[in-house]
Structure 1
Amino acid sequence: MRNPLKLRKNKSFDYAPRYYKGEGNPYKIEHKLDKFRSTAQPNRGLKNKFRSAMDDLNTEGDKNMKLRFAIIIAVLVLLFLFIIDFDLSIFLNP
């Protein structure tokens, strides 16, 4: 009996066209940036998933990402409050 929690890997076939002169397989489906993504590789097991999550946490992204994210959230909240016709004068001191 197979283990129901273990995922099967898809079958892969090494088909090479007869008259193709290029390098590698032209029918291989792979994104150009997959080799730079940490989530594209199949990491099996809880330990490997935790390790890749910690690596992603430790890598620093764009310096202004948090500021940009906060500005976008603030604009969306203000837009939502404008749509529901919320009175913003309660936040101002009379």
Structure 2
Amino acid sequence: MLKHNFFKLRKNNRFNYTPRFYQGKEIENDYSFDSKFSKYKQLHNKNDFRSAWAQDRIIMRRKNNRSFSPLLLVIILLLCFVFLFVLDFDLTIFSPVF
């Protein structure tokens, strides 16, 4: 049968090439006073920005970062009023008629 879906976009391939013998990982000091598991932790290559960025994004996703910023609210309101001013919107339609 026909398996092509003409409405679905193709996913782009991502290539994360690191040479086989590249010494990009940090080599830690054997005499450091970290825990014995610290040398087995996952380190990113210096040229592997994608996985480092993905891990930093996951770390930054915390519930305390989800609060709504009052500065953002002020900026949005200011932009709305500038937009209404450019359109020459008359705000007197909301006032009661005497």
TM-score by length of 1: 0.44
Larger Rg belongs to: 2
Greater RCO, CA 8 A, separation 6+: 2
